[in-house]
Structure 1
Amino acid sequence: MGVFTYENEVTTVIPPAKFFKAFILDADRLYPKIVPHQPKTEVVEGDGGPGTIKIITFSHGGQVKSIKHRLDVVDEKSLTYKYTVLEGELLSDNIDQISKELKVTAGPDGGSILKSVSIYHTKGDHQIDEQKLKIGEEKGLGLLKAAEAYLLANPAEYN
């Protein structure tokens, strides 16, 4: 089994606690407000804390139709969130498991920095296509910017 780590860092003008609450903790309710093709989230096990298993289904007909993931860590004090992808199109004949850690820290001018670390566990000695990873990260950046725009347009939410 191989291990490939991909790190990314993006900034937003939204303060850390508000950004963590909206973009990470309340993602299941925020994303349908900002994504044209509303994803459906179903909790299949757990109460929203560590160990919770969710299935997110996308109706837009893209390459990823669903993601089943397990929540591993929710730390509101350190603004850290970790999960593991268990099933779905993100996994393949070459990728056995994906673990992701998101951490929000204070950024410039009262905003935030979102640091993400994705760890891909590959089957055998398979390599990861970094270009595909960058495309996926760009989609995530688009979602972040849409969330930022929503929060700026609705400043009373998530206080």
Structure 2
Amino acid sequence: MHGQISADTLVGVPATILWDVYRASELGRLFGKIAPDVLGRVEILEGDGGVGTIAKLTFPPAPGSAESVYMKEKFTKIDDENRVKETEIIEGGYKALGFDMVRIQIKIIEKDSESCIVRSSIEYEGDDKLEDVVSHVSVKPLETIAEIVGKHLSERKSTR
């Protein structure tokens, strides 16, 4: 089984500003400061934020649960010209559900001089037995991150 889901999120900041945050490990640090209850904690385990970097994301416990969920992802592509970043989940997260491969792609698309679109995609491969699990794969957390970071950067820009 192979599939892909994606969504576009409009953000009210220039593409270049948003890309500066998304391109490296800055996103995890920023999001951990402004919305730790949504994402939780991001730790860089290996690397400098470039291709090959391994990050561990520890999410807050789901409502009614005392257990945190985590995933480790490896940065596999950072394309500054096209503003594309790809990571692969190497442990935990959707990988723990049994998928063989889970790739996350973020593309920042310039809309105009003051806004851009964040195209968030998840591509997955796995055994056909995972058909029931596929419904749990969602880009909603990526959309939420784009909305919160965009709002934060927009507010910061307007206070200057």
Q: TM-score range by the shorter chain?
A: 0.7 to 0.9
CA distances 1:36-83 after superposition (whole Å, capped 9, x unpaired): 43632222222221111111122x212761110110011222211011
Give the TM-score, by structure 2 length. Answer: 0.81
Name whichever of 24-33 and 120-129 sits farther off: 120-129
Cα separation, partners in 2 of 1:24 and 1:35, compared to 1, 3 Å: farther
- The 2-side partners of 1:128 and 1:18 are apart by 39
Structure 1 match to 2:31: 31
Structure 1 match to 2:146: 144
Cα separation, partners in 2 of 1:3 and 1:153, compared to 1, 3 Å: same
Name structure 2 gaps, 5 residues minimum: none
Name whichever of 34-43 and 9-18 sits farther off: 34-43
Structure 1 match to 2:13: 14
Structure 1 match to 2:156: 154
Give the TM-score, by structure 1 length. Answer: 0.81
- The 1-side partners of 2:115 and 2:79 are apart by 19
> For the aligned residues, what is the CA RMSD?
2.5
**How many percent of aligned residue pairs carry the same amino acid?**
18
What is the 5 A alignment of 1:34-113?
34-37=34-37, 39-58=40-59, 60-62=60-62, 65-108=69-112, 110-113=114-117
Question: Secondary structure of 1:61's match?
Answer: coil
| Alignment equivalent of 1:119, drawn from 120, 123, 148 | 123
Cα separation, partners in 2 of 1:93 and 1:102, compared to 1, 3 Å: closer
Cα separation, partners in 2 of 1:98 and 1:27, compared to 1, 3 Å: same
Name whichever of 117-126 and 69-78 sits farther off: 117-126
Name structure 1 gaps, 5 residues minimum: none
